[in-house]
Amino acid sequence: MKELDKNNKSFEDIKHVDENGAEFWYARDLMNVLSYKDWRYFDAVIEKAKIACKNSGLTDIDHFVVGNKMVEIGSGAKREQKDYRLTRYACYLIAQNANPRLKIVALAQTYFAAQTRKQEITEKEYTMLTEDEKRFYQRDLTRKGNYSLNQTAKKAGVKNFDKFHNSGYKGLYNGETADDIAKRKGLRYREDILDNMGSEELAANLFRITQTESRLKRDKVNTEEKACDTHNKIGKIVREAIKQAGRNHARRFAYSTKKFKTIRKRK
C-alpha cells in the first residue's frame, strides 16, 4: 500500500495545471516515471496510444498536444526536443500500451483508470444530482470545452477572441452579445455569464462550443471571418433546436433573468 501511495504521488508530482484549470502531463516526465530510458521506445508507445484514441472515436490531437521544447546540447547550442502535453485520458491509454513487464506500468494503469473514472458521470448519476450540482458539473465541462475551442480557433486564424465568442452568443441568443446577456442577468462588472447559468442553459452552450469546434476542424477553416461566421451559424442551429423542443422551454432558456449562486472554481 505504501508503494502504491508513493507511485500515485509520483504521477501527481508531474501533473501540471494550465491557466484555465485544465490538468496535463508532459510525455517526457511520464516516460521517466514509467522507467523508460529511451525516447524512441516511449514514442512508439505514444503512437499506439494515439491509434487507440482514434479507435475510441475521439480526436487524438485533443489529448496528445505537441509541446516540443528547445534544450541545450552543450556549448550553448540548442535543439528542438519532441514532447507532448497529455490529458489524463492520454496517460491512461499510454499506460495501457506500455511494457506490461514493468511493475510501475501496472500501477499507472490503475491510477489513471481510477482518476479518469472519478471525472466521469453516468446519465443515471446525473439525474440524481441537485440543480446546483448539475450546474457545477456542466460548468466544468464548458470551461474545458471553451479551452479546447480556443485552441482550435487560434489555429483557424482567430485573433480577436471577443469577436469570435460574441459571434456564437449572437447566434444562440438572437443577437445578444456577452455584455447584453450579462446586463439582462443583472451581473456585476467582470462577472462571468457562464458562472451564472442554469444547467439547461450551460448544456446548450456546451453543445454550441463542441459543435463549433468540430465544424472548424471538419471544414478546415483558416480565416477569422469564416470562423466567426461558423460560430454564429452553429449558435443559430442550437437556438432553433431549442425552439423546436418547445416554446416554454425556449423562453425559459433564452430570456432567463434568474439569479444563480455564482459558480466558483473548485479547489
Which segments of the chain have a pLDDT < 50?
A: 1-8, 257, 259, 261-267
CA–CA separation, 162 and 218 (whole Å): 23
Predicted pLDDT of residue 121 = 60
Q: What is the pTM of this model?
A: 0.53
- CA 150 – CA 35 distance, rounded (Å): 35
State the Cα–Cα distance between residues 136 and 138, nearest whole angstrom. 6
pLDDT attached to residue 46: 96
User: Smallest Cα–Cα separation from 234: which of 205, 254, 193?
Assistant: 205
What per-residue confidence (pLDDT) applies to 88? 84
pLDDT at 30: 94
Helix (H) or strand (E) holding 73: strand 69-74
State the CB neighbour count (10 A cutoff) for residue 10.
18
Cα 84 off chain centre by = 16
pLDDT value at position 4?
Answer: 35
